[in-house]
Amino acid sequence: MTAIIAAGGRGVRLGGARPKQFLALGGRPILQRSVDAFVSSDRIAEVVVALPSDLAASIPEYLRHRGKPVHVVEGGERRRDSVANAFARMSGDADVVVIHDAARPLVTSDLIGRTVDAAARYGAAIAALPVSDTVKRGGADRFIVETIPRNEVFLAQTPQAFRVDVLRAALAQAPGGDATDEAMLAEQAGHRVHLVEGDPRNLKITTADDLATAERLVAGDGANGAQMLRIGNGYDLHRLVEGRRLILGGVTVPFERGLQGHSDADVVCHAVTDAILGAAAAGDIGRHFPDTDAAWKDADSLVLLSRAAAVVADSGFTIGNVDVVVIAQRPKLLPYVDQMRANLARAMHIPVEQVSIKGKTNEGVDSMGAGDSIAAHAVALVRGSGVIFGGHSK
C-alpha cells in the first residue's frame, strides 16, 4: 500500500508566515505527525509527500531516514495536481493508494486500516462522519428551501483510499470541474465510493480554533488523548588519545587529545541516542549502528542521533526533553554548550529549549578525574498518545 500525503497547500485561513502544515502541534510539526501516522501503520509500505513547489527542494529532516521509503514531490496549483504528481512517483507494485490531508494529524492506525480494507473490497472508500444536527438547505435569500434527511448526509474526511485502477481513472479525467476531493473525482468517473465510519478526533486544522482543539487532544484533555510518558537512560565513555579530534555534541572542541572509537566517538550524542532509543524500547546504539559495520567507521554521531530520532518517531513517540551531564576534568565545556544544545535539538527535531547539557568534573577521581577519559549520562522523556496510535500496538 502507498500513502499520499497532500501537503501542497498554503493554509491561508490559519494565518501566519508559514504554511499550516509546518506549524507545531504538541512540539512536533503538523506534517510530521501526519507522516508519522502512516509510517507507523503496518498497512503502509511507502509514503509520498506533495509539498509546495518552493519548499520541495528543502526537505525537512524528519522526512529523511525513516523506517520506510518516504518520497517528496512538488505539489501543483490544485489538490488534484499534487495528488497526480505523487501518484506518478509511487512504486509500481501498490494495489491500494491512500490519500490523506497533512492538515489531519490525529489520524489513527485503526482508521487507516479500515479505510484500506474497504477500498480493497469496494474499489473506493472514504472516512466520513454522519451528522447529528438537522440539515437545512438554504437559498440565496437566506430562507430554507428544504430539510434534508440527516441519515443521508455525511461529512467527508481523509484518509480516502482507492484501488490503483480506480484512482488512475479518476485522475485521468479532463481538467476543470468543481471536485474538492478524490472521492468526488472517482464519482465523476463512474465509481461507487464506500463510506467508512470516521473519527471525530480526526479533525482538519483550518483555523486557529482547530489548532487549539488539536493541542488539547494531544495534551490529553480530549477523549482517548491520555498520554503515555516513557523515560530512557543513556551512558557512554571513551578514552582520550593522541591524534584524534575531540568532538562533543557535534562540536569540535580545541584540545590536545580526542576520544577513541569506531565512529567520531562523540559521547554526548551516543548517550542521548541510547536514552531516546531506550525510552521507546527500540534497542540501543550498538544494535542500530554496530562497530563491526564499516559503514559507521568515523561516522558523524549527529547523523546517528538523527536516525535514532526517526526510529523513535516510527515507534509512535515524540521526544519531550533531554538532559545530559558530561563528565570531563578538562577541557572546560561552557563556551561550547549552547552550540551542542543547538546541534542535538536539530538532530532530534525538537526546540533547543528542550535540550539541557551540563559539564562536571570528576574531582580527580578515576580515569575521568585523571583526564584519561570523558563520559556522558543522558536522560530522555518521550511521549506517546492514543490520539496518534489509535489501534496500533507500538
Please check the confidence at residue 348 and state whether its pLDDT lies above 70: yes
pLDDT at 177: 63
Q: Is residue 394 part of a domain?
A: no
Are 177 and 240 part of one and the same domain?
no
Q: Which residues contact 111 (CB under 8 A, 6 or more apart)?
A: 127, 159, 196, 198, 199, 202, 390
Domain range enclosing 345: 227-389
E strands within 36-86? 46-51, 70-74
**How is residue 392 written as a grid cell?**
496500533
**What single DSSP character describes residue 17?**
S
Please tell me the number of Cα atoms within 13 Å of 86 on its side-chain side.
34
Q: Are 82 and 215 in the same domain?
A: yes
Q: Is the pLDDT of residue 231 over 90?
A: yes
Helix (H) or strand (E) holding 349: none
Q: Which of 63-67, 142-146, 204-208 has the lowest mean pLDDT?
A: 63-67
Buried b (16+ CB within 10 A) or exposed e, 162-192: bbbebbebbbeeeeeeebebbbbbbeebebe
Give the single-character DSSP code of 315.
T
> How many separate helices (H) and strands (E) can be counted in the chain?
12, 18
pLDDT value of residue 229: 85
Percent of the chain with pLDDT over 70: 92
CATH number of the domain residue 288 falls in? 3.30.1330.50
- Domain shared by 245 and 207, yes or no: no
pLDDT > 90? residue 247: yes
**Cα–chain-centroid distance for residue 369?**
41
In tens, the pLDDT along 94-139 reads: 899 999 999 999 999 999 999 999 999 999 999 999 998 999 999 9
DSSP codes joined into one string, 169-236: HHHTSPS-S---SHHHHHHHTT---EEEE--TT-----SHHHHHHHHHHHHT-STT--EEEEEEEEEE
| Domain co-membership, 297 together with 204 | no
Find, among 39, 121, 5, the residue nearest to 314 by Cα: 39
Is the pLDDT at 49 greater than 90? The verdict is yes
User: How far apart are alpha carbons 154 and 133 in whole angstroms?
Assistant: 11
Q: Are 35 and 130 in contact (CB under 8 A)?
A: no
pLDDT score, position 176: 59
Q: How confident is the model at residue 254 (pLDDT cuts 50, 70, 90)?
A: very high
Whether 387 has a pLDDT exceeding 50, the answer reads: no
Q: What is the helix (H) or strand (E) element at residue 162, kind and residue range?
A: strand 154-163
The Cα diameter of the chain in Å comes to 87
Q: Pick the range with the lowest mean pLDDT from 36-40, 217-221, 270-274, 390-394.
A: 390-394
CA–chain centroid gap for 104, Å, is: 13
On whether the pTM is more than 0.85, the answer is: no
Examine the fold and report which residue of 158, 187, 219 is the final residue of a domain before the chain moves on.
219
The domain spanning residue 171 has which CATH number? Answer: 3.90.550.10
* Judgement on whether residues 213 and 244 belong to the same structural domain of the protein: no
Per-residue model confidence (pLDDT) at position 349: 85
Domain boundary among 190, 219, 248: 219
247 and 200 in one domain?
no
Q: Is position 370 within any domain?
A: yes
Res. 165: pLDDT tops 80: yes
Determine the average pLDDT of the residues in 60-89.
87
| Overall number of domains in the chain | 2
- Note whether 318 and 170 are same-domain residues: no
- Whole-number pLDDT of residue 13: 58
* pLDDT, tens only, 312-334: 887 778 898 999 999 999 999 99
Crossing angle of helices 267-279/337-348, nearest 10°?
Answer: 40
Given 184, 219, 254, the domain boundary residue is 219
Residues 208 and 254 in one domain: no
Give the model confidence (pLDDT) of 202-212 as tens digits: 999 988 888 88
Q: Are 73 and 86 in contact (CB under 8 A)?
A: yes
Helix (H) or strand (E) holding 25: strand 24-25
pLDDT value at 163 more than 90: yes
What is the rounded distance in angstroms from the CA atom of residue 49 to the CA atom of residue 160? 15
Mean pLDDT of the chain: 87
